[in-house]
Structure 1
Amino acid sequence: MARAAFVGTALEWYDYFLFGTAAALVFNRLFFTELDPTAALLAAFATFGVGFAARPLGAIIFGYIGDRYGRRPALLTTIVMIGVATGLIGLLPDFGAIGLAAPILLAVLRLVQGLAVGGEWGGAVTMAVEHAPIEKRGRFAALVQVGSPVGTLMSSGAFSLVLLFPSETFDAWGWRLPFLLAFPLLLIALWIRIRVEESPIFQDLLAQQDTVKVPVLEVFRRASGRLLVAIMSALLGVGGFYMITTFVTSYGTNTLGVDRQIMVNATLIAAVCQIFVTLYAGRLSEKLGPGKVTMWGGLLTAAAAFPLFWMIDTAEPAMIIIAISLGIMLIAVAYAVSGALLTELFPPRLRYSGVALGYNIAGATSGFMPLIATAMLAVSDNRSWGAALILLIIALITAAGGVLGERLRLHDKRIVVDDSKTRT
């Protein structure tokens, strides 16, 4: 089950991450062409942030489906939505062809992506954890998290290849190819998801008629404190990632004048490093507890925030690659165990909704951080201290969330289903 969740999630994140790279390299020039360069970049990042704003709504919708009717139907729906929306972006005419309708349609498709991803991650980690033996939940949840760097590798790799085209060819149609690839990938992901069985814990809830009519209301009513801790602990894994990838790609290309191929390649190298750190941190969480691992990931990232941006400011390719790789590896420590920690903050009957809401409210908050960091460049004379400060703050918030989360963890009991079977 964890492998199936990983493959499906990797393909979903491929679709979602494409937009972040394109926002920094393409959309500001082709979809917001009547604005000055800085305003166009801000508009592109604002459109990027729309997807994050939609994610809590997606968490509510698919949390309801997942906690009321099953984890499986929710995950089948999310994969279709995001695959179709991403493929359609590849077919979308630019501003020169249809004028103002181009950025509007781009924002609508990003909104659909956001709604789908709002239900995807929470469902994937919930399914993986609920299929796993209790003592191995850390590694199962971490395997789902590996879908993020693999998705990054796929999306950055696709853009790295099309950037080899001449600039005119890239702008004309080359940038569309990674988005159009979403259509065949959707078929693969859908085939994988159809084969996945329903969570045994949810089957037990159905058998006991213990599902909740309106899960999101119960989360806010009975688990609001746990929801706040979930948001805090997830903030760095989402916000920090986009600060080090989306913002830094834009900052390096547009402010420091670094070749965009170098920035994309740095993201590729960092994604490879992230895979190994994620798998190790997942195993480590089974010994120390996911809350403690989250705390250390937050503290280490906070300590490195300013040095990382000082390295990037050198504009030296080797230093940029090292800084991005180190930044992603540090952030990955907390991100790797988010699934294990968040799923144990909520009881099974509220788990899908609680996990999805916590993660995606954090996502909605942090999705606009590249926009804020870009805006701060205007008041800091194009210096990176504002971005470093943002990274420092969210890292400390996540460290605090890890401490509180470790104290609030719940443990599922083994539930006897019939006389011959025992499920976890």
Structure 2
Amino acid sequence: MTTQPLRPTRTSAPQAGDTVDPDQLRRATLASSVGSALEYYDFYIYGLATALIFGPLFFAPLGATGALIAAFATYGVGFAARPFGGLIFGYIGDRFGRKQVLLLTIGLMGTASFAIGLLPTYEQAGMLGAILLVVMRIIQGLGAGAEQAGATTLISEVAPRTRRGFFAALPFVGIQIGTLLGAGTFALLGLANPEVLTGWLWRVPFLASILLIAVAIYIRLKLKETPVFQELEKHKNVNKNPLGVLWRTSKKNVLIGIGLRMGENGNSTIYSTLLVGFMAAKGGIFEGDKFIGPVGLLIAAGFSAIMVITFGALSDRVGRVKVYRYGALFQLLFAFPAFYLISLGNVTLVWIVMSIGIALGVQSMLGPQCALLPELFGSTHRFTGVAMSREISAVFAGGIAPFVGGLLLAVTHQSWVVLAGYSLVLAAISFATTFVTPETVGRDLNLVEDAT
């Protein structure tokens, strides 16, 4: 086995995506979608629980503000674990195959989520529950650290080249399904008696994740390995040290991936978690209804399921970078008008702004990103490259956003300007990054060389 790269062009094998197995494409799409649904179901139920109920349940001695900040800190811990999960499972994916990773990650995420539903609260066991919550969040983060990298790599290496943007975006409909399930569940829980909710009902969404785990594992057991990885094995070009190759040859593309993700992942977290906490803290101006946020996410997710595919397909026609650039620019320009409108306390305006910010702003970047990140990296270290790009950015964009944003809101007495400025800065980073990003549409994924 050798670590020497394949030649940039060759006639011994077709380009990835030229020959497509329809059954494999269907199974890959379904397997990736269900995994994405589970990850984002976990993501949203944890994020919403963090914003709404975890503080008093697990961190009661810290007071209202301290408990909220501590709860957001546990949310960030999961993101801090994600790069380590990406590193570990990225190595496995590049060394032993994409399919193996998708089975491992779904098991870790699902088991951790289910276990959260069994944890004792502060009243039941003191700080033991908080400690176990952090442990489960770390395990959840390790699994999530490679789940989306695996999904994007898998589907990109199976999809037809000319429609890779469209097919690579399809599994991300699972994100919206997971959002619908998570936000919808909490919207329904909001109808319950508050004492019942904080007593036992909050556990149900976490325990219910066992159903998604079972479905996802069943589907993924039937997956085939991707044609790209099969080619690597056939020509004995599977790399024993993908991280080393990534470090030597791909640092620039990893940095590009991180920059691109700041506006997308960061704003997704601001709109889905930090904004919900902001509205809950404001209380009175939102008529005391702290479930406005979950309902808004529910509406936004419905539109997003359509828009992520639309923007993915559009990137096949006009290019990944152009779609991404205008999406980041829109998010940047929308930041201050959006959060000013939210500050007015009108429920309808909140829902409209959340729908526009998530369905247009975030999805206009996520749509082309689904294919763009895998296309940036060569075949021998693609999984590791995508995982590192996604998960390092997840720490600095989505992971610390609730914690840092929560602190800023606390010291500014819940000023909406903080949220607007935060959103603008993250979008500006992605916008600037598009000017150093190579156009990758139609790239042959059998090549071991990066796009730059």
* TM-score between the two structures when normalised by the length of structure 2: 0.89
Separation (CA, whole Å) in 1 of partners of 2:424 and 2:211:
40
Q: In the alignment, is the contact (CA less than 8 A) between 2:161 and 2:442 conserved in 1?
A: no
Shift of 1:168: 0.6
Counterpart pick for 1:318 among 348, 355, 367: 348
- Structure 2 match to 1:399: 431
Separation (CA, whole Å) in 1 of partners of 2:220 and 2:42:
16
Q: For residues 66 and 83 of structure 1, do their structure 2 counterparts lie closer, same or farther at Cα, with a shift above 3 Å needed?
A: same
Where do 1:11-410 residues align within 5 Å?
11-257=38-284, 258=286, 259-329=289-359, 330-366=361-397, 367-407=399-439
Shift of 1:103: 0.7
- Structure 2 match to 1:421: none
Separation (CA, whole Å) in 1 of partners of 2:42 and 2:237:
35
Q: For residues 58 and 248 of structure 1, do their structure 2 counterparts lie closer, same or farther at Cα, with a shift above 3 Å needed?
A: same
Q: In the alignment, is the contact (CA less than 8 A) between 1:8 and 1:192 conserved in 2?
A: no
Amino acid at match of 2:377: F
Shift of 1:70: 0.4
Percent of aligned pairs with the same amino acid: 38
Residues paired across the two proteins, number: 415
Amino acid at match of 1:365: F
Shift of 1:408: 6.4
Separation (CA, whole Å) in 1 of partners of 2:382 and 2:139:
23
Shift of 1:217: 2.3
Q: For residues 414 and 347 of structure 1, do their structure 2 counterparts lie closer, same or farther at Cα, with a shift above 3 Å needed?
A: closer
1:74-98 Cα offsets, whole Å, 9 max, x none, are: 1100001101100000011101111
Separation (CA, whole Å) in 2 of partners of 1:43 and 1:138:
39
Separation (CA, whole Å) in 1 of partners of 2:130 and 2:36:
27
Amino acid at match of 2:313: R
- Structure 2 match to 1:418: none
Separation (CA, whole Å) in 2 of partners of 1:73 and 1:12:
17
Q: In the alignment, is the contact (CA less than 8 A) between 1:345 and 1:408 conserved in 2?
A: yes
Shift of 1:373: 1.2
Separation (CA, whole Å) in 2 of partners of 1:238 and 1:148:
13
Separation (CA, whole Å) in 2 of partners of 1:83 and 1:234:
25
Amino acid at match of 1:293: V
Q: For residues 414 and 262 of structure 1, do their structure 2 counterparts lie closer, same or farther at Cα, with a shift above 3 Å needed?
A: closer
Amino acid at match of 2:332: A
Separation (CA, whole Å) in 2 of partners of 1:273 and 1:147:
13
Q: In the alignment, is the contact (CA less than 8 A) between 1:16 and 1:113 conserved in 2?
A: no
Amino acid at match of 1:189: A
Shift of 1:400: 2.2
Q: In the alignment, is the contact (CA less than 8 A) between 2:319 and 2:441 conserved in 1?
A: no
Separation (CA, whole Å) in 1 of partners of 2:418 and 2:432:
22
Q: For residues 243 and 271 of structure 1, do their structure 2 counterparts lie closer, same or farther at Cα, with a shift above 3 Å needed?
A: same
Gapped regions of structure 2 (runs ≥ 5)? 1-27, 448-452
Shift of 1:369: 0.8
1:172-212 Cα offsets, whole Å, 9 max, x none, are: 11111000001122111111111111111001101111122
Shift of 1:409: 6.8
1:381-402 Cα offsets, whole Å, 9 max, x none, are: 3211111111101101112223
Separation (CA, whole Å) in 2 of partners of 1:379 and 1:85:
33
Shift of 1:364: 0.8
Separation (CA, whole Å) in 1 of partners of 2:127 and 2:166:
47
* TM-score between the two structures when normalised by the length of structure 1: 0.95
Separation (CA, whole Å) in 1 of partners of 2:377 and 2:121:
44
Separation (CA, whole Å) in 2 of partners of 1:15 and 1:227:
26
Aligned to 1:406, what secondary structure does the other structure show?
Answer: coil
Separation (CA, whole Å) in 2 of partners of 1:178 and 1:339:
28
Shift of 1:15: 1.9
Separation (CA, whole Å) in 1 of partners of 2:179 and 2:433:
26
Aligned to 1:273, what secondary structure does the other structure show?
Answer: helix
Q: For residues 66 and 373 of structure 1, do their structure 2 counterparts lie closer, same or farther at Cα, with a shift above 3 Å needed?
A: same
Q: In the alignment, is the contact (CA less than 8 A) between 1:290 and 1:402 conserved in 2?
A: no
Q: In the alignment, is the contact (CA less than 8 A) between 1:18 and 1:156 conserved in 2?
A: yes
Separation (CA, whole Å) in 1 of partners of 2:446 and 2:245:
24
Q: For residues 320 and 154 of structure 1, do their structure 2 counterparts lie closer, same or farther at Cα, with a shift above 3 Å needed?
A: same
Shift of 1:27: 0.5
Shift of 1:403: 3.0
Shift of 1:231: 0.6
Gapped regions of structure 1 (runs ≥ 5)? 416-424
Shift of 1:254: 1.2
- Structure 2 match to 1:419: none
Farther off after superposition, 218-227 or 60-69? 218-227
Shift of 1:410: 8.0
Separation (CA, whole Å) in 2 of partners of 1:251 and 1:37:
13
